[in-house]
Structure 1
Amino acid sequence: MQPDLPNRHFLRPSLGNRAIKVLLVGCGGNGAQMLMGLASLDTALRAISSRSLHVTVVDDDTVSEANLGRQPFYRCDLGNSKARTLTERINLAHGLTWNAVHGRAPADIGVAGMDIVITCVDTAGARRAIGAAIDACEPEFHNLQPPAYWLDLGNRATDGQLIIGCPKGAAGDKPGRLPTVMEYFPELADESVAEDDAPSCSVAEALEKQSLFVNRVVASHALALLFDLLGRGSIGHAGAFINLATGQTLPIPLPAAPVEVAA
């Protein structure tokens, strides 16, 4: 009889004791918080394992007045590239050589060959573009290796969610494969739904749209999940729904483990 062990997802063997290539798409509310946390995660991984992170950040936005306060930028950063500004700051502080691309994914940088893609984007259209690029990876015919994991973060005014999945091209349809955000929310594929990603003009207007610390909370949960996966080797949930207004956090369960039938 098998022991009653909790259902766990274990880190894929391809992400062994080496530098793990991460593509961070978006360096705004959630993305900037993730980038800062990834630097801390890299330091921790180097201390407890043979793994490390090499991060490439892509974002075509520049720092505006409305970003001050809720995002980790300063008045001296106004008008500068978000991706380049924060990446250069982290490289100097931590002695890293991470890359920044002032542009968009997948148009200006592809997802093939990345181990983990993290999306911190505002629209369903941006997620569709990333999902299509991941699906287009064909390792058997063109040696375009798909990412092993796709971690997506999103939020509204006082609530948000994070979901980590394994793209089918990387994991096939093996039992226990983690569904991606596009599978959890198939409505994201509906191109007829209107999207509102208009920028705020001031800090006050930005705070009307989103709580001051919602991005930090969502990013912190995502980083904790990555630490368990990359640092400890497994996770017990696939993400979470977080509501700051009610103080509730609801974990997203892993797919049910396959049942072994005795002979």
Structure 2
Amino acid sequence: MKTEKTKIHFTDPYLISPTNPIAINLIGAGGTGSKVLTALMEMNHSLTALGHAGLSVRLWDDDRVTSANLGRQRFAQSEVGLYKSVALINRANRFMGTAWKAETVKFEKDNFGKQPKNTQGSIYISCTDSARSRFEIAEILNLLSNRRHHRYMPKYWMDFGNSNSTGQVLLSTVGEIPQPNSEKFETVESLPFVTEEFADLLKESETADDTPSCSVAEALEKQDLYINSALAQMGCSLLWNLFRQGMTANRGFFLNLKDFRTMPIPVA
């Protein structure tokens, strides 16, 4: 009887032993993005301690901190009125001694249909609220993927999304990642974009109310207190395993925090 091989995606070799820090574009600095940044700080410190070149993060967000953001997001009263990206990156750099960058604009194409400036990166992480922004990111990544043999050609896109007490994280490849020969596993070189696999669901979600909250209480009605941090920790664990294990059998997960259920999304 022939046993079916486990499907595995092997990490792009450049991420395992890079000559320079891995460039990451983190898009969104709100409830999830602010906590993903904290996880990336921990990851960078751990990677460099293990002899890896570490991470170089650029955070994109054009929003400013309001009083409704305090508590649920990584902001203090003294930061109200500041750009979210600037407040978070300044704090990260002071805390960790890094030289990460903040962008106070949206990650979107300009009026001429070109990708935004300073988009060089191997990994893109989106923590945005709207489906429209995800389709925009997908278009930009497709444009950037035409840079063949470029050191900063995008390789992976990790998308975080959530509702009140549920959420998901999905890892995608930008194009195909060459895979090694394996007798033990069935290797998978391409992981689909969230905008390809769940296009209909994303379009339906655009009808949801995405107006800014005016208070912490109102914000908590839209998103439970710990859904963002739970997704951030689990999603960054997937990214950490890509670096440390060099492969993954799962490309994401669905999380229901209300009844504490998690369902992995296997590589297919």
> Do the aligned partners of 1:166 and 1:179 also contact (CA within 8 Å) in 2?
yes
Residue type of the alignment partner of 1:30: T
RCO (CA 8 Å, sep 6+): is it higher in 1 or 2?
2
2:129: which partner in 1? 122
2:136 is equivalent to residue 147 of structure 1: no
- Say whether the 8 Å CA contact 1:119–1:151 is kept in structure 2: yes
Task: Specify which of 239, 246, 249 is matched with residue 252 of structure 2.
Answer: 239
What is the SS of the residue equivalent to 2:195?
Answer: helix
- The alpha-carbon distance between structure 1 residues 248 and 166, as it changes in their structure 2 partners (threshold 3 A), is same
Aligned pairs for 1:1-263 (under 5 A) are 6-18=6-18, 19-107=21-109, 109-110=116-117, 113-137=120-144, 138-140=146-148, 146-168=153-175, 171=177, 175-187=188-200, 190=203, 193-255=206-268
Q: TM-score, normalised by structure 1?
A: 0.88
- Cα distance in 2 for partners of 1:188, 1:104 equals 23
The verdict on how the C-alpha distance between 1:2 and 1:94 changes in structure 2, with shifts beyond 3 A counting, is farther
Q: Is the 8 A contact 2:132 2:206 kept in 1?
A: no
SS in 1 for 2:15: coil
CA distance in 2, matches of 1:229, 1:175: 14
Could you say what secondary structure the match of 1:251 adopts? strand
Structure 2: 5+ residue stretches without partners: 111-115, 179-186
1: distance between equivalents of 2:198 and 2:244? 28
Following TM superposition, the consecutive aligned residue runs of length 4 or more in structure 1 with deviations greater than 6 angstroms are: 1-5
Q: Distance in 1 between matches of 2:38 and 2:107?
A: 20
Judge conservation of contact 1:157–1:214 (CA < 8 Å) in 2.
yes
Matched residue SS, 1:8: strand
Q: Per-residue displacement from partner, 1:111-138 (whole Å, max 9, x unpaired)?
A: 7531000000000110011101111122
Change (3 A) 1:103 1:188: farther
Q: CA deviation at 1:144?
A: 9.4
User: Which AA in structure 2 matches 1:234?
Assistant: M
Question: 1:34-72 CA distances to partner (integer Å, 9 max, x unpaired)?
Answer: 001100000111122423000000100011111111101
User: For 1:29, what is the secondary structure of its paired residue?
Assistant: coil
Q: Which moved more, 1:200-209 or 1:230-239?
A: 230-239
Task: Give the residue type in structure 1 aligned to 2:93.
Answer: N
Report the Cα offset of residue 178 of structure 1.
Answer: 1.3
Percent identity over the alignment?
A: 36
| Residues 111, 14 of structure 1: alpha-carbon distance in 2 compared, 3 angstrom cutoff | farther
Closer, same or farther in 2 for the Cα pair 1:79/1:5, shift >3 Å?
same
Once residues 103 and 201 of structure 1 are traced to their aligned partners in structure 2, the CA distance between those partners, rounded to angstroms, is 22
User: 1:236 offset after TM fit, Å?
Assistant: 2.1
Rounded Cα–Cα distance in structure 2 between residues aligned with 1:110 and 1:225: 28
Give the direction of change, closer, same or farther, for the CA distance of 1:21–1:155 in structure 2 (3 Å limit): same
Relative to structure 2, which stretch is displaced further, 105-114 or 59-68? 105-114
**Aligned counterpart, 1:260:** none
Give me the whole-angstrom Cα distance separating, in 1, the residues matched to 2:225 and 2:267: 30
Matches of 1:193 and 1:80, distance apart in 2: 28
Report if aligned partners of 1:128, 1:188 keep a CA contact under 8 Å in 2.
no
Mapped partners of 2:151, 2:14: distance in 1? 15
Structure 1 pair 135–221 and aligned structure 2 pair: CA distance change class (3 A): same
In structure 1, what residue type is equivalent to 2:124?
A: V
Corresponding letter in the other structure for 1:42: N
The DSSP-based 3-state class of the residue aligned with 1:246 is coil
Instruction: Number of aligned residue pairs: give it.
Output: 253
